[in-house]
Structure 1
Amino acid sequence: MRVSFMICCEYANRFMNGAPALLGIFRSIQVDSFPTTLDPFYLTMELEAEPHEYGPMVFLIRLIDEDGRAYFEAEMGMDFAKRENYGPSYGYFGEVLQATRPIEKPGIYRIDLLHEGEVIGQTHIEVFKRDLDRDSND
């Protein structure tokens, strides 16, 4: 099992052919002050399962800070087709992520995807205070 991509964006959907459609991809979030509550955003990913990895599987999504404190945890399920003669099977996921507790300080926050207790993919978002002086000069 591996994660082909894991992306944060403002909106996610799928075209009729199954291809992902991602809008407003970002790696950072600017806020006015801390503590703050993050607006909901989409977490999207593509998972690749080897031929021997098929059937329903459960994953854990976790948003943590640099000190390991969790701000969001949720399980997600995905069903992979058995394709022994064809190679790997792919699954797409796109769901709204909402931090369940206020973000206390600026920093790099990590989003992990775990399967059977092991981190199989991750991405990062930086949360920082908006520079109001710089914004007013633009």
Structure 2
Amino acid sequence: MNLVDRGDGFAEFWRERHLCTLATARPDGPPHVVPVGATLDLAAGIARVITSGTSKKARLVAAAGPEGAEVALCQVDGRRWSTLEGRAVLRAEADQVADAERRYAGRYREPRPNPSRVVLEIRVTRVLGNA
């Protein structure tokens, strides 16, 4: 999905420093919703979340297999909000992790060292919101 066409306001909203929430589905159905930092590659239509490979969100995405897990990534600032829906896959390759860490540092701050870090890579399929 080309998110560049959504305009400058959308792009700026996803560059500003906001915490997000990531919703994944537990095997028994209820959502697992946690706060995360996220970055968005507008041209590629990919959002990224760095996390520990042992986290519940990483384990839920990994358990979904190579097709990935359906997720929703949301951020809100007052009346402005945006939700990105798509499929998340787990990436553990060193170059993928390093790239995601650089993107995270650009939006938030340098992440603390974490040798078990992985990336949840979300291919965006739908956008909701007013931002």
Same fold (TM over 0.5): no
More helix by share: 2
Instruction: Please give the TM-score of this superposition, normalised by the length of structure 1.
Output: 0.29
Please tell me whether Structure 1 or Structure 2 has the larger radius of gyration of its CA atoms. 1
More strand by share: 1
Instruction: Please give the TM-score of this superposition, normalised by the length of structure 2.
Output: 0.30
